[in-house]
Structure 1
């Protein structure tokens, strides 16, 4: 399985069974180095509705004639934009095209502004994605919360993607504790260095993970990891 990081929280997962992209904030993020038109996937997965996560989801879904998976209100919003969708909600799981997706809690918010109006897009979430017998956990945008320990206990997580930017999500200290609780085989920091407000040192964070006996990978936009 190949995991390619496109900056911020965007992640492309490619396997022999399926290819999916999570939170495809590409064209609005000059550091991503990816063109939405070049993305070939079987599904688009969204953690929440903020513009830096919703990103190019609708365009990618239309280009690939594939569904967007999202919490109910977010899926409805994407459907109104002309995309195929699969309505989900927190705690629910489903299988599609060779993979299983389960939505987990996250502590954040989820909305988008159109004109002068904020549109509520349901609750934020994390994603457990299982394919080829391996499980990935994308925490989305979240604060540290105690049930991360339960997520780690109930699921054998091969790779976890954790925000470290602080200010808008948990920072490195809380993400380090989350990594301990999740007991993932590999941890990849995300949601940092996109904007000045979330500037962090991903290499330093991974060095701290190593001191805890945890494998950390500070991927740069466009870099991949095999798992």
Structure 2
């Protein structure tokens, strides 16, 4: 777990991030591929709340960027009883080849967002951005079809207690990314389905955040990469970077 200006940031594996400013806890894309196996949470009303790692604090806000990261078992595992679940509107359970619940069947307040949302949930300011692979870009299937077509997912720009954290989602580097005002940038670096470590490093340098924390790599073979080389690349460009996990 890392701390930046009073905000705890934990990469729990794959695309799962936990943000905690001691008043509000946000989970982004929890679950898939066993990353939460053995992970426990304590209720926000529990005296164990101060013991953060482990167990982790229950989430007040759960954000899910697209179908591939929609895992209702994980949502139920990390969400507090009165949590709000922020879902990209394009999530369609009929297109998911896994056993998941419909959003309407989850016992939480559900808020759906598009690719241009700007909402407040508890103490979190949540903005969204487009997330997709370019049809003629490097991250497509052998048929030329993007792994993530436009309109099927989003990125999350979340501000807690004045600190902004940006998870761009499963995406290529897109026009406009470099202009975002971001304190902590959490890019995917695994390649294949998203930007790779070289593309992420170029974007991080252009964005000039206070800290870069890479995620979405090494969970399975298709997204294995050299995270230490990514760190060395950014350090050579004087971009602050840290690995978590």
Tell me the TM-score normalized by structure 2.
0.74
Given that 1:138 and 1:162 are in contact with CA atoms closer than 8 Å, whether structure 2 keeps it comes out as yes
Q: CA deviation at 1:204?
A: 1.3
Greater displacement, 29-38 / 161-170: 29-38
Looking at structure 1, the residues matched to 78 and 92 of structure 2 have their Cα atoms a distance apart, in angstroms, of 12
Distance 1:61 1:198, change over 3 A: closer
Matched, 1:64 2:64: no
Which one has the bigger helix percentage? 1
Given that 1:6 and 1:33 are in contact with CA atoms closer than 8 Å, whether structure 2 keeps it comes out as no
Given that 1:129 and 1:136 are in contact with CA atoms closer than 8 Å, whether structure 2 keeps it comes out as yes
Q: Which protein is bigger by CA-based radius of gyration?
A: 2
Q: 1:90-119 CA distances to partner (integer Å, 9 max, x unpaired)? A: 11111121110001111149xxxxxxxxxx
Aligned to 2:213, the other structure's residue is in SS state strand
Partner of 2:91: 74
Structure 1 portions without partners, runs of 5+? 110-119, 221-227
Q: Where does 1:72-221 land on structure 2 (aligned, <5 Å)?
A: 72-74=89-91, 77-108=102-133, 123-151=152-180, 155=181, 157-220=182-245
Looking at structure 2, the residues matched to 32 and 3 of structure 1 have their Cα atoms a distance apart, in angstroms, of 19
Aligned to 2:164, the other structure's residue is in SS state strand
Looking at structure 1, the residues matched to 8 and 184 of structure 2 have their Cα atoms a distance apart, in angstroms, of 12
Looking at structure 1, the residues matched to 198 and 190 of structure 2 have their Cα atoms a distance apart, in angstroms, of 11
Looking at structure 2, the residues matched to 75 and 210 of structure 1 have their Cα atoms a distance apart, in angstroms, of 40
Partner of 1:15: 21
Q: 1:5-35 CA distances to partner (integer Å, 9 max, x unpaired)? A: 1011111111133111111116x32586524
Q: 1:181-213 CA distances to partner (integer Å, 9 max, x unpaired)? A: 222111111111000111111111011001111
Looking at structure 2, the residues matched to 124 and 108 of structure 1 have their Cα atoms a distance apart, in angstroms, of 10
Partner of 2:67: 49
Partner of 2:50: none
Greater RCO (Cα-Cα under 8 Å, separation 6 or more)? 1
